[in-house]
A and B are shown apart, each in its own frame.
Chain A
């Protein structure tokens, strides 16, 4: 009933490649779910499916009980992109990026009203970026950049946040800051789906973890999923390609 993200029997094929094979996950509201897996394990595809960027060949997706498109129109889904997908030289200020989170709440011309500016100020304060708000987005450190996009999702007032590799390219101290911030969001009732191939923050951050390798290998508490036996089962046959995890 208070399931925030529900993925049921989703299968996605890209041509001959089976990207997701009968994947089912449900994440209850107000929880943080870590999405673990190697490159090519289907993490991005699962994200894209929840976002409605990829239509599944079979199965269904519900966000807060709604189809993805309806959930998106209501502004329920906040997306925090991977660093590589962002043009950091783009001439926008941190404040402009956060304001884009408000666009769904605005009229067709996207002219900010006082309430929108307040929401942006509030989001900047919560992410500790108030003093950096007028900087160009690329003039931030790795951790600050991530926080700017989390601020955009906060300004959007998104219930469900999808975070794509939030710890990539971030130093240890910023990792802890981001984990802190995400835990605060969770306490405020947000639901977070966090894809990562960095396991170090998983126990501190996640209530549950999902190990993906085309299909769901394991889904449970971080302790259960990070069991060496489970990891070996998932990746044992791939050891020749080197260790999949950066610790």
Chain B
């Protein structure tokens, strides 16, 4: 009985604090949106793109603070701008895409670092880089909710086209649907999602939020609809676990959320019914022994 009480209190005690409730709201909403997008990111193979966009928003965030604008505005401009810049340099030079991505996002990140060091102290670099979900303001929450709703609505409306693009862009082209437009749409969604997620875990760890849930779900199912649901479940569980753990241990919230995601990924990597490395090893041995 004591352990049950302790367990219940483990959840209820932090909930008495308003800042915990707000952190949970932001983390879960960000987790949901990231999870949805992560399914396409995993299938298209855009983890590096996610990393790039998240780092490239730094100067946008800093400039927003400088001019007293909502941080999402600057972040969106630089997120989308970095994607456009990557596309242009990639098409107009012989440098390969991953190198272009590497050049563009590090350059923009560096610009952000330089700007931060010129700005008065109200912008705290470590909060932007590592997240500050326990201290989110009302405007932050409002921005997160609006952007999350926009992403989810667009995805709900266009999910079949996005999956067709991820699976076979040439077929999309052949039936008169412009794959370039779908790619742009997906990159735009990625930019917005990154802005949502960096409230929860900070710039550095955003890429985890838009990759790990999808990658975890991919190991567990062969059906896209189930992959979406599993990714969302993984992400929400990780957000809850992360926030509560970080409260009790007094450690980084973003770090805890991503660690929880990584733990869930590891479990599915090892124990997935069909893809788990443990069973696969055993099946291979069984087959060898039989023959």
Contact = CB atoms under 8 A, between A and B. Distances in A.
Interface of A: 51-53, 69, 72-75, 77-79, 81, 85-87, 90-93, 96-97, 100-101, 103-104, 108-111, 136, 139, 152, 156
Nearest to B160: A110
Nearest to A87: B167
A222 to B, nearest CB: 27
Contact of A104 (B177, B221, B222, B226): B177
Label chain A's interface by main secondary structure: mixed
Q: Tell me which of A78, A96, A139 has the highest count of chain B C-beta atoms within 10 A of its own C-beta.
A: A96
Contact of A90 (B161, B167, B174, B221): B167
B67 interface: no
Contacts of A51: 170, 173-174
A103 B174 contact: no
Label chain B's interface by main secondary structure: helix
Interface of B: 43, 157-158, 160-161, 163-164, 166-168, 170-177, 218, 221-224, 226-227
Given A87-B43, A96-B224, A81 B173 contact: no
A53 B169 CA distance: 11
A176 B177 CA distance: 33
Q: Tell me which of A52, A100, A101 has the highest count of chain B C-beta atoms within 10 A of its own C-beta.
A: A100
A104 B171 CA distance: 10
B21 to A, nearest CB: 35
B223 A78 contact: no
Contacts of B161: 103, 110
A75 B43 contact: no
Nearest to B163: A92
Given A72-B176, A91-B224, A96-B224, A79 B160 contact: no
Contacts of A110: 160-161, 164
Contact of A109 (B43, B157, B173, B226): B157
Contact of A103 (B170, B177, B221): B177
B219 to A, nearest CB: 11
A109 B177 CA distance: 13
A47 to B, nearest CB: 10
A178 B109 CA distance: 54
Nearest to A79: B174
A93 B164 CA distance: 13
A139 B223 CA distance: 12
